[in-house]
Structure 1
Amino acid sequence: MAEENITNNQQPQKQTPTFINFQGFWCRSQLVPNVKSFQEHFQALDDDIILASKPKAGTTWLKALAFTIMNRNRFALSNSPLNSSNPHDLIPYLEMTLYNDGLIPDFAAISSPRLFSTHLPYHALAESIKQSNSRIVYITRNPLDVIVSMWHFVTSRPERAEWPLEECFEQFCRGEEGYGPFWDHVLGYWK
């Protein structure tokens, strides 16, 4: 089956993030149960709004803008949740937050329109999203900026501090980076 199509990619460098190829995109193995649960159980509503992006491509910015627009009549600027909360805490990731550890969330308490985010490529979205009238807002960024931003993000962690930018660049060019290959991700949403 397609969802069982997993290829190991053991990177030779200790500091390099290790990904597996799952359903045609690269991700950490811990994400696989989350994606499977999301694909199997998520039921999209026609007024859902899905914010989609590759990591380090403007996700935080897009989440802040979308939250502000969706809640412009609900909060005064002085008491907006964005003043004290990260946009990632206000708009959850489907595959990383809501379906974490393969759990099945209860969406009964979330009023419509619901606002979610994902880094998954289009082909890996739950079929209910593709078959509904849900709106998908996609953001991308110059791939060179994505590479540099990703490298800074990853190397800010002590266990990855020695990851050379050249290795990050080569891995990106091979498409062996989170939710990649980059151009497949962009084109999937473009089509």
Structure 2
Amino acid sequence: MFGLLDYSEKVIGRRVHDLTLLTVDSEHCVINDDHVILWPIFGSKTDNSDYRQSGWKLLKNQRSKNLDPVFWINNCEKLLRDRRKTAKCTNLFLHLRGQAKAASRTVIASWVKSALAEAGIIASPGSIRSAVASKNWADNVPVDEILSRGNWRSGNTFRQFYRREVIPVTAHSSVTSAFVPCD
């Protein structure tokens, strides 16, 4: 589970709340051998009658099973199938203890924070979206792609409040190319 959360936040850079909008029903989730497409349900901060956030196409990571969203989503779906039936919900992420129900934003944020801590990163889960966008900016990713990947509605908001200087690291292992927004 941590591998999926860590992967999702690094590559996608969406809000933690958007993870609560992921479901595994046939209308919102397609799992193939080499990719998974997730269409978040309505409810993102930027969703309205004229705009919906894009779908998420996550590609198989051939080099690392720990960072392979196809592997983790497939396993998560299978392992939690009975718990989903008990909860009568189709959410991708469920509470793992106590009553079967969809995991809240707070619970998912604590999972992300734990994954970050295990990686030696001291940061709040909410800072990940800005960090991903700033890293993409430093890597000269086109602004339109940064905005699309992070579900940013305004380039000015990103530039003014969220774009930060990124200190380059010597060992670079980017998995950004494994995520493609779906229209």
Shorter chain as normaliser: what TM range? under 0.3
TM-score, structure 1 length as denominator? 0.23
TM-score, structure 2 length as denominator? 0.24
Which has the bigger relative contact order, CA under 8 A and spacing at least 6?
1
Bigger strand share:
1
Structure (1 or 2) with the larger CA radius of gyration: 1
